[in-house]
Amino acid sequence: MTSRRILVLNGPNLNLLGTREPEIYGTATLTDVEALCARMAASHGLQVECRQSNHEGELVDALHEAAASGEVLGVVLNAAAYTHTSVALLDAVKATRLPVVEVHLSNTHAREPFRHTSYLSPVAEAVIAGAGVHGYGYAVDLLALRHLRE
């Protein structure tokens, strides 16, 4: 089957977007992010599947399911705090071999030192940080354009 879908996968606390530390993360909600991703994907004739979990294993399962489906052309992944701690997500990204664009709303390198290390960046196709919710749109665009080149 032809890959026609992008998975947008969000980690812990991103369900609180719009109310959680708006001075850092902005006022857009997760629903706003999902709508932006859907519009960007549609502009390329693609669809998105959006998932959010506060549980590491559910994020790993989502990556496994995406790869097994054969329909997902890439993943926009904001692993949130798991970015800096999760070997399990690193291994899942490596195992699935799906192109992943790592996204962060804030510039993690301008924040606390522990946020400067990402377990995912070494296996991500690209990293977008500090662009706010627009970073998600850029990530969808990048994956769509990559798909069109194949």
Burial 38-66 (b: 16+ CB within 10 A, else e): bebbeebebebbbebbbebeebbebbeeb
Catalytic residue among 104, 119, 136, 147: 104
Q: Is 25 a catalytic residue?
A: yes
Our measurement of the distance from residue 67's CA atom to the centroid of its chain's CA atoms, rounded to an integer in Å, reads 15
Take residue 93 and report the two structure tokens written for it.
């990204």
Catalytic residue among 25, 82, 119, 136: 25
The count of residues in the chain is: 150
Q: What are the catalytic residues?
A: 25, 104
